[in-house]
Amino acid sequence: MDYRALFLFWIAGILTLITLTDSQSVQKDPKKNDPEKRLFNKLFKSYRTSVRPIFQKSQPVKVEVNIDLHQIVELSEKSQFLHMSLWVRMSWIDEHLTWDQDKFEGLAEIQVPSRDIWKPDITIVNNVDDSKSAMKLFSDTPAKVYPNGTVYWLTSSLCKISCKINVENFPFDEQHCTIVLSPWTSDIRFINLTYGEPEGNSGPFVIHGVWDLQGIPVEREEVLYPCCPDPYVEVRYTVVVRRQPNFYLYNQLFPCIPLMLISVLVFCLPTESGERASLAVTLLLAMTVFLNFISENMPPTSEVVPLLAQFFGAAIVLLSVCTSVTVLILNIHYQGEHGKPTPKWLKVIFLDYIGHYLHIKRKPKDRVNESKDGTDGVEKNGTFHASSLNTVYDNRNGDMDMLVSQDSLGHQMQNINCVLALLHEEITTRNREKSRAEDIKEEWQLIAMTFDRMLFIVFIICNVLVNVSIFTKVAFVYVDH
């Protein structure tokens, strides 16, 4: 009986022990057996982030890079940089980070903080953002690691790259800004950089108000620097953006075309109105203001003159000439006021030759003929003949006796006649002088008018030439794209 009790006790003891150990093992096992933890322990026990992850040290680590352009924050023409948000995808094989999936419960992917693994020292070489050092351009996002050792590092960067802005065809310009990705220290013996997709991805691109994204072609180049005998690999993504010109067309170019046309009308304004010079100067000022708007946005470069600035430059030159010529015409128009006679050569050039071609005819010379008739009239009339007057004088002085002896009535009549003739002569000479002065005035005015009409035609031609040359240039630029 004693043995039976002892046996039962023993069984019970064993059972409790088993249940105890069993419950213990249930609590303990998941902690010990977590495959990810075991994997991290295995992979990172002796991992050094500085060691290049390739066993064959003579070979470079092949790093593949791809970019997605997320947003253009700013393209500054003045400071010549492109500020943008980039997503960068890099992948390489880390031979220290491989595992057998079967031993780790089929674990097919782990995520590792990127500061815990080796990373290529790739950076954007032409970065100009002074707030970030070259090595801190990419954000410290975690990397994905696969059993075969492939590491995918998806990172992002808010960077400013230097970009040579060419404003020759402004506002129809296209800008090419190149993102140069290259290892900073490792030359081709250590890192062989290549690109994956043949073009940068613009899938996530946020539409920009001014710039249309045309494409992001990529090329790879091995570059030798004077410092080092071995070449460095550069992968260059060229961001091609084209400006949407509508803003500039509607706000700057189109308002100026009517201004140019109005400048021609300055020559149609009557000289007497006295508004010509002020109209020309107002137009000139308006153009200068527009030109100022444009130059505010342009890089202060002397290499090229933007298309739009060329247009405004030509317009300003035309308007300046127009203003000075207007002043000259006003001067000519009022020359006659002081009775200054017209030089013969002016008359020949303007009235005979140019006036003839422009169909400017002198007014029929009523007044001139009238005055001529007046002088002739005396002769025809006979009574008030100048020579007869002279005889009267002569007679009065010389043959006094004869006069005295004549009939007193006749004598008086003769005297009256004589005074009348004197008066008439006075009036005709005055008339003649007056009409001569008016003739001169009219001649000057005619010259001014001829000059006006000539310049009106010249300015129409110049305006058309300027507009046509600018717009053919614009058309060529469009066709080129």
Ligand X SMILES: *[C@@H]1O[C@H](CO)[C@@H](O)[C@H](O)[C@H]1NC(C)=O
Q: Which residues form the interface with ligand X (CB under 6 A)?
A: 60, 146, 148, 150, 188, 192, 194
CB of 40 to ligand X, least distance (A): 19
User: Which lies closer to ligand X via its Cβ, residue 146 or residue 237?
Assistant: 146
**E strand map for 26-112:** 61-76, 81-93, 110-112
Query: Which residues, 6+ apart, have CB-to-CB distance to 252 below 8 Å?
Result: 171, 290, 293, 294, 308
For residue 171, whether the previous peptide bond is cis, meaning omega lies within 30 degrees of 0, is yes
Cα–Cα dist 178/220, whole Å: 12
- The H or E element spanning position 124 is strand 122-124
Burial label, 387 (beta-carbon count in 10 A; 0-12, 13-18, 19+): exposed
CA distances from 214 to 41, 205, 241 (A): 48, 11, 5
User: Which lies closer to ligand X via its Cβ, residue 170 or residue 190?
Assistant: 190
User: Which lies closer to ligand X via its Cβ, residue 19 or residue 111?
Assistant: 111
User: Which lies closer to ligand X via its Cβ, residue 192 or residue 463?
Assistant: 192
Three state DSSP letters for 365-380: CHHHHHHHHHHHHHHH
User: Which lies closer to ligand X via its Cβ, residue 194 or residue 472?
Assistant: 194
Burial label, 277 (beta-carbon count in 10 A; 0-12, 13-18, 19+): middle
184 neighbors 199 (Cβ within 8 angstroms): no
User: Which lies closer to ligand X via its Cβ, residue 191 or residue 315?
Assistant: 191
- The H or E element spanning position 235 is strand 232-243
CB of 134 to ligand X, least distance (A): 23
CB of 77 to ligand X, least distance (A): 37
CB of 59 to ligand X, least distance (A): 7
218 neighbors 195 (Cβ within 8 angstroms): yes
The torsion region of residue 215 among left (phi > 0), alpha (psi -120 to 50) and beta comes to left
User: Which lies closer to ligand X via its Cβ, residue 194 or residue 278?
Assistant: 194
User: Which lies closer to ligand X via its Cβ, residue 77 or residue 94?
Assistant: 94
CB of 233 to ligand X, least distance (A): 7
User: Which lies closer to ligand X via its Cβ, residue 98 or residue 162?
Assistant: 98
- How large is the angle between the packed helices 386-397 and 408-480, nearest 10 degrees? 140
In this structure, what token pair is assigned to residue 454? Answer: 């000539």
Closest residue by Cα to residue 381 from 421, 433, 422: 421
The torsion region of residue 37 among left (phi > 0), alpha (psi -120 to 50) and beta comes to alpha
Using alpha carbons only, what angle is made at residue 299 by residues 293 and 305, rounded to the nearest 5 degrees? Answer: 80
CB of 303 to ligand X, least distance (A): 37
User: Which lies closer to ligand X via its Cβ, residue 195 or residue 311?
Assistant: 195
CB of 188 to ligand X, least distance (A): 5
User: Which lies closer to ligand X via its Cβ, residue 195 or residue 312?
Assistant: 195
Query: Which residues, 6+ apart, have CB-to-CB distance to 335 below 8 Å?
Result: 342, 444
Cα–Cα dist 39/41, whole Å: 5
CB of 239 to ligand X, least distance (A): 23
CB of 192 to ligand X, least distance (A): 4
CB of 216 to ligand X, least distance (A): 20
Query: Which residues, 6+ apart, have CB-to-CB distance to 288 below 8 Å?
Result: 316
User: Which lies closer to ligand X via its Cβ, residue 230 or residue 394?
Assistant: 230
CB of 179 to ligand X, least distance (A): 19
Cα–Cα dist 437/444, whole Å: 11
CB of 91 to ligand X, least distance (A): 9
